[in-house]
Amino acid sequence: MYDELIAALDAERVLQTPLALHVYGRDAGVYRGQPAVVVLPETTAEVVRVVEIANRHEVPVVARGAGTGLAAGAVATEGGIVLVTTKMNRIEEIDPDNRTALVGPGVINLDLSKAAEPYALHFAPDPSSQAACTIGGNVANNSGGPHCLAEGSTVNHVLALEVVLADGSVAMVGSAAPDPIGLDLRGLLVGSEGTLAIVTKILVRLLPNPPDVRTLLCSFDSIADAAATVSGIIAAGIVPAALEMMDQAITRAVENWLHAGLPTDATAILLAEVVGDTAAVEAEAKVMAEVAHAHHARDVRMAADDSERALLWKGRKAAFGAVAQAAPNYYLHDTVVPRTRLVETMAKVYEIGARHELQMLNVFHAGDGNLHPLMVFDASVPGMTEKVQQAADELVAACVAVGGVLSGEHGIGREKRDLMPLMFSATDLDAQARIKETFDPHNRFNPGKVLPTGARCFDLGASVPPGAWV
């Protein structure tokens, strides 16, 4: 198989050294796999050839972008081929009249918005990793970001997909039309985490850059007051572009690194942003400030200019990297709860951390209740990783118990696969497994992810020894 892959691509884009397999054996999360070989195709035709070779040798194929995922969605837990799409990074066309762009899956998220800037357009989904993550990865996990409260997640900005199916055929789903007829296969594939097809081209919607923006930084003496402010802003009829909350521990970590003047003595800070016409954003910013003061904000400050606004957002988006000061490892989770249950859920989050003797830091998309509890730890301490995993599972169960869901934007992957029964009945899981079986009858694409063992009449979680096919 190795020689066939070299013939299909070339020796420089077929990797099998121990270092390459180690590097591509994990994402940004805590799980590790062991691929047998790594390939880096540059075209759709090359992806087809890789899939055909995989079928002949009956090996799995795991599509991978930049590896910024946190749920082990692109980790080769069952071995096989890791197909890396980062060389498929062409922005093939930007159509300013129709406000669309046709891109390869390896295009970096932020690079697309930079390329669209001359047309006063941008790609709305903005994960914290947007300077590194790829559009293909965003499609796989239906990624969100701070500014998706008003604009929606990736699925709301993907019009069409070119995909390679499990039999090696190429299909186009969706279209440039805003409301295509028929079943929404585009919507089905976005968020499917590479388990149904491999995305090779993406037609995305671009949005006009807002004419004006106002960004507020509000500080509070309690999580409850900050959460009440979030609900109060929405109740006032305002849907901000972003509503982000950080607790004291994460604020101190960020400020120690960034020195942006963040209030480290506050129990919680809220970053709120509105965009639109100048008159509208001024009026909405005033209302948001009034709501914050009504809920006992100790301070409300508005970013004076674009530089200060960029600094505040740099602090928010770099928060996860800043925790490297606290410990050599961290586990960042992703769950969602109703906004009305934020206060009690946060109390439970801290209680779980204290009970397991883990430092728990929190930064999250407060506007849509998307929590990102972050546990810092030292994986070299015996039993520590298992303790963190137990605490993480308790966090998810606590969120689901108050009407929440397993994931807001990171996906299910391997991380939450075995927690799916918390939300889905056996009938639900069987229905999802039937879809997987229809698209991928031989379970070639990203096996062992999303659906737990026994979700269907055959075992979707069965594993084969890594490297057995080469």
Highest mean pLDDT among 175-189, 241-255, 313-327: 241-255
Question: 258-308: per-residue pLDDT in tens?
Answer: 888 899 999 999 999 999 999 999 999 999 999 999 999 999 999 999 999
Confidence of residue 326 (pLDDT cuts 50, 70, 90): confident
Q: Are residues 301 and 331 in the same domain?
A: no
Instruction: Give the chain's end-to-end CA distance (angstroms, integer).
Output: 6
430 Cβ contact partners less than 8 Å away, ≥ 6 residues apart: 455, 456
Confidence of residue 19 (pLDDT cuts 50, 70, 90): very high
Averaged pLDDT, 340-360 = 93
Higher pLDDT, 470 or 72: 72
H/E run at residue 105: none
Averaged pLDDT, 406-429 = 95
**Residue-by-residue DSSP string for 222-233:** -HHHHHHHHHHH
Q: Which of 58, 84, 110 is the last residue of a domain?
A: 84
What Cα–Cα distance (Å) separates residue 270 from each residue in 50, 215, 217, 227, 301? 47, 10, 6, 9, 11
Number of folded domains that form the chain: 5
Sheet of 170-174: strands edge to edge? Answer: 91-95, 100-103, 198-205, 158-164, 170-174
Averaged pLDDT, 144-161 = 94
Q: Are residues 195 and 123 in the same domain?
A: yes
Side chain identity, residue 462: A
CATH of the domain at 332: 3.30.70.2740
With pLDDT > 70 as the criterion, what percentage of the chain qualifies? Answer: 97
> Nearest Cα to 204, choosing from 103, 85, 114?
103
Q: Are residues 98 and 203 in the same domain?
A: yes
pLDDT at 455 over 80: no
Averaged pLDDT, 428-445 = 97
What pLDDT is attached to residue 311?
93
Q: Which of 288, 320, 352 is the last residue of a domain?
A: 320
DSSP-based three-state secondary structure for 141: helix
Q: Are residues 146 and 235 in the same domain?
A: no
- Would you say residue 142 lies in a domain? yes
pTM: 0.92
Dihedral class, residue 79 (left if φ above 0, else alpha if ψ from -120 to 50, else beta): left
What pLDDT is attached to residue 2?
86
Q: Are residues 249 and 181 in the same domain?
A: no
Q: Are residues 433 and 361 in the same domain?
A: no
Averaged pLDDT, 221-232 = 95
Q: Are residues 335 and 301 in the same domain?
A: no
What pLDDT is attached to residue 53?
98
- Would you say residue 466 lies in a domain? no
Confidence of residue 163 (pLDDT cuts 50, 70, 90): very high
**Residue-by-residue DSSP string for 378-440:** -TTSTTHHHHHHHHHHHHHHHHHHTT-BS-SSS--TTTTGGGGGGT--HHHHHHHHHHHHHH-
What Cα–Cα distance (Å) separates residue 127 from each residue in 77, 303, 319, 454? 25, 21, 12, 33
Confidence of residue 464 (pLDDT cuts 50, 70, 90): very low
Q: Crossing angle, helix 223-235 and helix 342-355, to 10 degrees?
A: 150
Integer Cα distance of 91 and 102 in angstroms: 6
CATH of the domain at 151: 3.30.465.10
Sheet of 61-64: strands edge to edge? Answer: 14-15, 37-39, 81-84, 61-64
Task: Encode burial over 310-329: b for 16+ CB neighbours within 10 A, e otherwise.
Answer: ebbbebbbebbebbeebbeb
Q: Are residues 195 and 99 in the same domain?
A: yes
pLDDT at 460 over 60: no
- Would you say residue 451 lies in a domain? yes
> Nearest Cα to 368, choosing from 238, 218, 243, 232?
243
DSSP-based three-state secondary structure for 268: strand
Residue labelled with tokens 């050839």: 49
- Would you say residue 249 lies in a domain? yes
Nearest-10 Cα torsion for 276, 279, 285, 291: -120
Q: Are residues 316 and 331 in the same domain?
A: no
Domain limits for position 429: 424-461
Instruction: Check the CA dihedral 391-427-404-274 and report its sign.
Output: positive
CATH of the domain at 242: 3.30.70.2190
HSE, side-chain direction, 13 A CA sphere, residue 243: 25
Q: Are residues 140 and 181 in the same domain?
A: yes
- Would you say residue 467 lies in a domain? no
pLDDT at 459 over 60: no
pLDDT at 470 over 50: no
Question: 378-404: per-residue pLDDT in tens?
Answer: 999 999 999 999 999 999 999 999 999
Tokens of 57: 């040798």
Integer Cα distance of 460 and 312 in angstroms: 44
Task: Share the mean pLDDT of the chain.
Answer: 93
Other C-beta atoms lying within 10 Å of the C-beta of residue 99: 15
What pLDDT is attached to residue 262?
93
pLDDT at 465 over 50: no
Q: Are residues 100 and 69 in the same domain?
A: no
Chain centre to alpha carbon of residue 317: 13
Q: Are residues 74 and 110 in the same domain?
A: no
- Would you say residue 469 lies in a domain? no
Question: 108-123: per-residue pLDDT in tens?
Answer: 999 999 999 999 999 9
Question: 76-116: per-residue pLDDT in tens?
Answer: 999 999 999 999 999 999 999 999 999 999 999 999 999 99
- Would you say residue 38 lies in a domain? yes
- Would you say residue 79 lies in a domain? yes
What pLDDT is attached to residue 319?
83
Q: Which of 298, 320, 342 is the last residue of a domain?
A: 320
